[in-house]
Amino acid sequence: MKKTVLAVALSLVAGSAIAADVNQDVSERARESIIDLILSGEEFSVGGQVAVGGEYLEGRKNDKGEDREFHNYDVTGFDLFLNYQKGNVLGQFAGEFDLADNYSSMDASFSVIDAWVGYKTAFGVASIGYAADSALDAVDGAADLTVEYGASASDASDVNQVVKFEGIKEGFKYGVSYYGDREANSEGQKGFNGYVGFQNDSFQVNAGYENNDEDNSKDGIEQIMLVNGVAYFGDFAVGANVAQHENFAGQDSLLVSTSVGYTMDKLYLAAGYANQEAYVSSEADTEWVNFGATYQFTKKTSALVDFKVDLTDDNGSDDLAAFFKLAYDF
């Protein structure tokens, strides 16, 4: 395999989680599919995932106030990835189809996750797109080894109208992105984010920053600063994450989390703890633990479960959430 091909692939996977056994979201699966195409040397590929499952959330009610503790949780549905490369040019379209929370196909939704083109260089991949991961999305959850209910920076995620560059050299990784709109249906929240880090077979460490221009998003976050890392001990790994959030009112919220993961052949076990401060002293901090597992039946078929226990005091929330998913990758 040519070193340049491997370097480009690493540029895209620079901040990914430690184990394929960890439940990947649709953006992570899309990123993995374009990496697979680069490494294969082929020009075009089609992939995705079909999944069934949902979540049990103690005390949950629907919009009508009815008890609906079991719901889809955007699990049952499918996603589709179309990838292309020709010479130094890359491109990807990724979409996600989910049944409604009540499993109705009448109210199902389809979302464009990735739609971008890029150019491979000796230093990384430059891209521009209608929708894509922000740069910080590559590392914001890198230290979360749990299956589903882990913790990462609140705002770092997919964006729209994005220009991005990512790369890695001798273990040192870097990325920066500018976006014109955080959500496709928002009022045009502009911003930028980026990261630097280092990784090898024994550990990885990352530092990132994000700044948003206007107070027109749901969470009202103006800026994020984060540091996280993972240490590997054979089949065992330990991760830790610290993320400072500041809203447009100048109020701060500190997120601290840690997690562990252990792989035994086809079985993966994980546990995590997280605490996030409330922005104001009159509200309770959020605190929880979670325990989960995945099992890889075949190369393409897997089952995932995770259980979350809310430890938050005096917030009136219920204690238990349970996630399960059966997935087939194609």
pLDDT tens across 19-72, in order? 444 567 888 888 888 888 888 889 999 999 999 999 998 877 666 666 678 889
Whole-number pLDDT of residue 260: 96
Residue 195 CA, chain-centre distance (Å), reads: 15
- Helix H or strand E encompassing 175: strand 172-181
Closest CA to 182 of 218, 207, 150, 142: 218
pTM given for the model: 0.88
In the block, tokens 């005096």 appear at 314
Provide the b/e sequence for 57-71 (b: ≥16 CB within 10 Å).
beebeeeeeeeebeb
pLDDT tens string for the chain (330 positions)?
Answer: 444 454 555 555 554 444 444 567 888 888 888 888 888 889 999 999 999 999 998 877 666 666 678 889 999 999 999 999 999 999 999 999 999 998 988 889 999 999 999 999 989 999 999 988 899 988 998 899 999 998 888 755 678 889 999 998 889 999 999 998 877 655 677 899 999 999 999 999 999 999 988 766 666 889 999 999 999 999 999 999 999 999 998 899 999 999 999 999 999 999 999 999 989 888 888 999 999 999 999 999 999 999 999 998 765 556 899 999 999 999
CA distances to 30, 82, 161, 312 from 115, rounded to whole Å, are 11, 10, 10, 39
Task: Name the 3-class secondary structure at 274.
Answer: strand
Show the tokens assigned to 214. Answer: 């206007």
Task: Name the 3-class secondary structure at 30.
Answer: helix
pLDDT per position as a tens digit, 201-235: 999 999 999 998 876 666 688 999 999 999 999 99
Cα pseudo-dihedral 131, 172, 272, 18, rounded to 10: 80
Q: Are 206 and 224 in contact (CB under 8 A)?
A: no
Count other Cβ atoms within 10 Å, centred on residue 316.
Answer: 7
Could you give the CA distance from residue 199 to residue 177 in angstroms, rounded to a whole number? 21
Q: What is the DSSP string of 202-230?
A: SEEEEEEEEEESSS-SSS-EEEEEEEEEE
Could you give the CA distance from residue 306 to residue 269 in angstroms, rounded to a whole number? 10
Whole-number pLDDT of residue 218: 64
- Helix 26-40 and helix 3-13, axial crossing angle in degrees, nearest 10: 180
Whole-number pLDDT of residue 160: 87
Show the tokens assigned to 238. Answer: 């330990």
CA distances to 12, 53, 163, 192, 286 from 127, rounded to whole Å, are 11, 34, 6, 15, 37
Show the tokens assigned to 17. Answer: 């989680």
In the block, tokens 């083109």 appear at 117
Whole-number pLDDT of residue 17: 43
Domains of the chain: 1-329 (2.40.160.10)
Q: What is the DSSP string of 45-58?
A: EEEEEEEEEEEEET
State the maximum Cα–Cα separation within the chain, in Å, rounded to a whole number: 59
CA distances to 145, 280, 290, 307 from 319, rounded to whole Å, are 22, 23, 11, 10
